[in-house]
Amino acid sequence: MRIQFLYIVGLLVCIGCANNSSKEAESDTEVLKTEEETSLVSEEEAYSILILQKLKEIVDKKVLADTHPDFDIDPSIQSLYPAITDTKVKEVHLISPFEIVSDSVKSVKTKVVYETKTDTIITYIKTSEMMVDGEQLKTTKMSFTPQLPKITSKKPKDDSKPLHVERFSIRDLSFTWEEVNACDCLFMIPAKNSSFKKLYFGRFKDNTTAIIQLGKNTEKYLIPISKSRSPNRKNGASWSETYQSDTYKLSLTAKPTTNKVKGKHTYLINFTFTDVSSKKVIQKEILANCKS
């Protein structure tokens, strides 16, 4: 009996060892299989799968939010909602190399193929490690933003250039009708920092004299020309002139621009007025319509 008992115990031990060896082999096979499967999937493919799953979840939430207005929208994905017009994501493709944003975050441009359209978004991938039951696990969190529009450099608008001709009433002038009709260029210059606030200028067609008025309905002055424009210039071409008396000096440089009045030429005029005695200077760039 003793010998028979020892034989049975020995047989059970052998069977137990055989079972353990079988389990260990089976476990090793699973590990190898997992490692083999992992090696067959690239980083891009792995992230594509995760991105696709996350986007499908977002689209489902968007559909739920559209059909149930009281549903709370997740603020972290709300910026993506306006770009989502379909109810199904078919596939995703990573269309740029990964860019390192920080030690734990990288981004990648992602093409999203819906049922009826294709869109491009930016995917942010944040990885972190944590300990669970003494084992270190790697976690991945994803977020998305619509692709930012390309910023094109635009030439800054030059606010210093006048956009329109300064308007004034003929009743503001002390000029006679004959003097008005003798002018081929008549305009007003704002002079806010002066006592007279507005300066009125008229260029006589005879190319010898200018007439000015400092303020509304005030005294007028005739100023002789000291440097005339070229007599050979074409009508509507650039010109510059200088007028001077014992009291005032006027300098004008005119460049043609887009015509604003039919039958007249529109000029961008750099106008400088100098009071000889006080040295007071008024300089302005204005638009003016002239006959020549």
Phi and psi at 46, nearest 5°, equal -65, -45
**Where is pLDDT greater, at 32 or 281?**
281
Is 182 within the bounds of a domain?
Answer: yes
Is 221 within the bounds of a domain?
Answer: yes
139 and 216 together in one domain: no
Is 89 within the bounds of a domain?
Answer: yes
188 and 272 together in one domain: yes
135 and 178 together in one domain: no
Residue 34: predicted pLDDT: 37
Is 19 within the bounds of a domain?
Answer: no
pLDDT at 118 over 60: yes
The length of the chain is: 292
**Where is pLDDT greater, at 37 or 162?**
162
Q: Is 0.75 surpassed by the pTM of this model?
A: no
Is 162 within the bounds of a domain?
Answer: no
- The average pLDDT across 21-31 equals 34
285 and 179 together in one domain: yes
Is 248 within the bounds of a domain?
Answer: yes
133 and 174 together in one domain: no
CA 289 to CA 186: how far, in whole Å?
Answer: 8
Residue 188: predicted pLDDT: 96
- The helix or strand, by DSSP H or E, that contains position 128, with its residue range, turns out to be strand 118-132
Residue 21: predicted pLDDT: 35
Residue 186 vs residues 42, 52, 168, 181, 252: alpha-carbon distances, Å: 78, 71, 10, 10, 13
85 and 192 together in one domain: no
175 and 79 together in one domain: no
Residue 31: predicted pLDDT: 36
Which domain, by its residues, includes 225?
170-290
**Where is pLDDT greater, at 157 or 31?**
157
Dmax over CA atoms of the chain, in Å, equals: 151
Is 114 within the bounds of a domain?
Answer: yes
Which single residue is written with the structure tokens 């606030």? Answer: 197
Tell me what the pLDDT averaged over the chain comes to: 80
Is 155 within the bounds of a domain?
Answer: no
CA 277 to CA 249: how far, in whole Å?
Answer: 11
At residue 190, the 3 state secondary structure works out as strand
Q: Considering only CA atoms, which of 44, 257, 23 is closest in space to residue 162?
A: 257
Last residue of a domain, one of 113, 146, 179: 146
Residue 3: predicted pLDDT: 45
136 and 225 together in one domain: no
pLDDT-derived band at 154, boundaries 50, 70, 90: low
What tokens does 138 get?
Answer: 């790697």
How deeply is 238 buried, as exposed, middle or buried, from its count of CB atoms within 10 A (0-12, 13-18, 19+)? middle
Residue 28: predicted pLDDT: 34
What tokens does 251 get?
Answer: 């300098």
Contact 192, 183 (CB under 8 A): no
Last residue of a domain, one of 146, 181, 216: 146
- Number of domains observed in the structure of the chain: 2
Residue 209: predicted pLDDT: 96
132 and 191 together in one domain: no
**Where is pLDDT greater, at 25 or 120?**
120
pLDDT at 182 over 50: yes
CA 109 to CA 3: how far, in whole Å?
Answer: 76
91 and 192 together in one domain: no
pLDDT at 198 over 70: yes
122 and 194 together in one domain: no
Residue 71: predicted pLDDT: 62
135 and 213 together in one domain: no
